[in-house]
Amino acid sequence: MTTEFTFTEQARHGSARICRGCWDQMHMPIPIGGPLALPFRALGITRSKMNPDICTICERSFQYVKKQRQITVDATILFADIRGFTDLSERIEAVRLSEIVSLFQDRCAQAIWAHDGIVNKQMGDGLMAIFNFPIIRKDHASAAIGAAREIQRNCAAALGGLTLDALPLGVGVGIHSGEVQIGEFSSFRSDFTAIGGVVNQAARLESQAAAGEILISAETAAKAPELAADAETRMLTLKGIEQPVQARVLVKR
Amino acid sequence: MTTEFTFTEQARHGSARICRGCWDQMHMPIPIGGPLALPFRALGITRSKMNPDICTICERSFQYVKKQRQITVDATILFADIRGFTDLSERIEAVRLSEIVSLFQDRCAQAIWAHDGIVNKQMGDGLMAIFNFPIIRKDHASAAIGAAREIQRNCAAALGGLTLDALPLGVGVGIHSGEVQIGEFSSFRSDFTAIGGVVNQAARLESQAAAGEILISAETAAKAPELAADAETRMLTLKGIEQPVQARVLVKR
């Protein structure tokens, strides 16, 4: 599926005038910016919390958009969290802790949106992002790696002053690419999510990433060879996965 | 805070006529059932996805409800997920996998709502529930244990026919009680969540629970001694927590 609209390339996150998800998925122009968006806003159709360049139709009406309960999508999944947060949460005061979580979530979201991903889930000091749905990005592996590098830069700047046992507070990122199931997997929620082995493996990779590291799977590296060329290779044993998994380690630069 | 309304005791989940969260937190009667709910529905105030006995004001307007950015609450946090899901997701077809996830999410939610908890986060084959906010339950530890037992029963019935390496597919649950921070911890989302060491330790306990097990912390057990009396004690080394942690193991009965 391609779009004839060139604005998508130039758009900054949050500046799209029509929903990029509805356009990419249905070729339907849903205004989300400018005066044409006003009547839609009155109907409750606004910018999505997952990404301000998509709308609440994309977010909450998956079955309307796709005419199916679930679809299989070749996508890239990114997990990120604050390393040592459990330890940190025992030591610092509550208000400071919540400031750190807010800083982390906001800086990560900016990085993910800048590369056309969506923040699908936020879980305390962690999050999950999807690349290639609903905004189509054929180069979703590269987009996710770009977002991860920006997450590391943004968070280093935002959290840089803070230390844990004299080490600077840092973020770990895990990325994996492949076929995921996207749909609504609960009868009482209306927001879509992604499930499947690829999602779980991305989460496992993230759990093994040290502060400042981005661990990408061999599958993601193969889709973005130019970005993984100088990356160290590391063999990992991941919970729930029988064979050792080869990962590539990207570090801050 | 006490409520003079006796309906709260008798209410079945999803049957409350006024929002139990707004009542418990603000003593404000917000109709969510019956004809009085109609004008509110027109304003977008409906039953919440987190628990049908609370409303979307509780869900999305934390700062309006509490007049603060965050509060400290003595609460019980429950995590549950499907054991071996990563392994499973590599082996079975996508449609079947999503049916299992939907069954799991729905059965867990019914159990949590029956004990006045809220399903705060759903993450694929896992979820996080909060007890004692916004519906006040002084016996939140007991409520969470009751929900966990019902989760195990419901899921055994729903997933019972399925096996993984000849073992029946099962669910692991982790529960911990203590002070958590509740608020909105991201500038672009409006739903509240809970963060803090207690939340992370509950997640760590869950990750150590085998299929069919409910691991509760010593703190939760102390708040519900009658429910933990016959439980085995297990010492655990949890990621990010220096000292070994004493947990009690409740199994299906």
Helix (H, G, I), strand (E, B) or coil at A233: strand
Q: Enumerate the residues of chain A whose CB falls inside 8 A of the CB of residue B85.
A: 200, 240
**What topology is assigned to A70-251 in CATH?**
Alpha-Beta Plaits (3.30.70)
Nearest of B253, B41, B2, B45 to residue B152 by alpha carbon: B253
Please check the confidence at residue B7 and state whether its pLDDT lies above 60.
no
β-strand pairing of A245-251 with B70-82: unpaired
Please check the confidence at residue B2 and state whether its pLDDT lies above 60.
no
Contact B176, B205 (CB under 8 A): yes
- Asked if A68 reaches chain B (Cβ–Cβ under 8 Å), the answer is no
- Which among A248-252, B15-19, B155-159 has the top mean pLDDT? B15-19
- Asked if B27 reaches chain A (Cβ–Cβ under 8 Å), the answer is no
Q: What is the pLDDT of residues A77-104, one digit of tens each?
A: 999 999 988 888 878 888 888 899 999 9
Please check the confidence at residue A182 and state whether its pLDDT lies above 90.
yes
Task: Give one DSSP letter per residue of A58-69, joined into a string.
Answer: HHH-HHHHHSSS
What is the dihedral sign for C-alpha A48, A49, A50, A51? positive
Mean pLDDT confidence for B159-186: 87
- Asked if A113 reaches chain B (Cβ–Cβ under 8 Å), the answer is no
Contact A240 B87 (CB under 8 A): yes
Please check the confidence at residue A166 and state whether its pLDDT lies above 90.
no
Q: Enumerate the residues of chain A whose CB falls inside 8 A of the CB of residue B196.
A: 89, 94, 97
- Asked if A196 reaches chain B (Cβ–Cβ under 8 Å), the answer is yes
Of the candidates A86, A102, A106, the beta carbon closest to that of B197 is on A86
Contact B123 A128 (CB under 8 A): yes
Mean pLDDT confidence for B95-120: 94
Q: What is the pLDDT of residues A208-250, one digit of tens each?
A: 999 999 999 999 999 999 998 889 999 999 887 788 999 999 9
Of the candidates A44, A109, A197, the beta carbon closest to that of B44 is on A44
**What pLDDT is attached to residue B209?**
96
Helix (H, G, I), strand (E, B) or coil at B180: strand
**What pLDDT is attached to residue B4?**
37
Please check the confidence at residue A3 and state whether its pLDDT lies above 50.
no
- Asked if A110 reaches chain B (Cβ–Cβ under 8 Å), the answer is no
Mean pLDDT confidence for A195-203: 94
- Asked if A63 reaches chain B (Cβ–Cβ under 8 Å), the answer is no
Contact A122 B94 (CB under 8 A): no
Q: Enumerate the residues of chain A whose CB falls inside 8 A of the CB of residue B128.
A: 123
**What pLDDT is attached to residue A88?**
84
Of the candidates B52, B181, B186, the beta carbon closest to that of A97 is on B181
Report the C-alpha gap between B115 and B134 in whole angstroms: 13
Please check the confidence at residue B50 and state whether its pLDDT lies above 80.
yes
* Cα A167 from chain centre: 26
Mutate to test the interface with A, among B71, B83, B98 (most CBs of A within 10 A): B98
Average of per-residue pLDDT values in chain A: 89
Of all residues in chain A, the one with the smallest CA distance to B125 is A195
Interface of B with A in 205-234 (CB under 8 A): none
Q: Enumerate the residues of chain A whose CB falls inside 8 A of the CB of residue B121.
A: 121, 123
Interface of B with A in 135-174 (CB under 8 A): none
Domain residue ranges in chain B: 7-60, 70-251
Instruction: Please give the share of chain B, as a percent, with pLDDT higher than 90.
Output: 70
Of A181-195, B44-58, B211-225, which gets the smallest average pLDDT? A181-195
**What pLDDT is attached to residue A168?**
73
Contact B172, B80 (CB under 8 A): yes
Q: Enumerate the residues of chain B whose CB falls inside 8 A of the CB of residue A183.
A: 98
**Residue in this structure with the two tokens 């999602």, named with its chain if needed:** A199
The Cβ of residue B179 has, within 10 Å, a number of other Cβ atoms equal to 12
Please check the confidence at residue B58 and state whether its pLDDT lies above 70.
yes
Of all residues in chain B, the one with the smallest CA distance to A185 is B102
Q: Is the ipTM of this complex over 0.90?
A: no
Mean pLDDT confidence for B55-77: 94
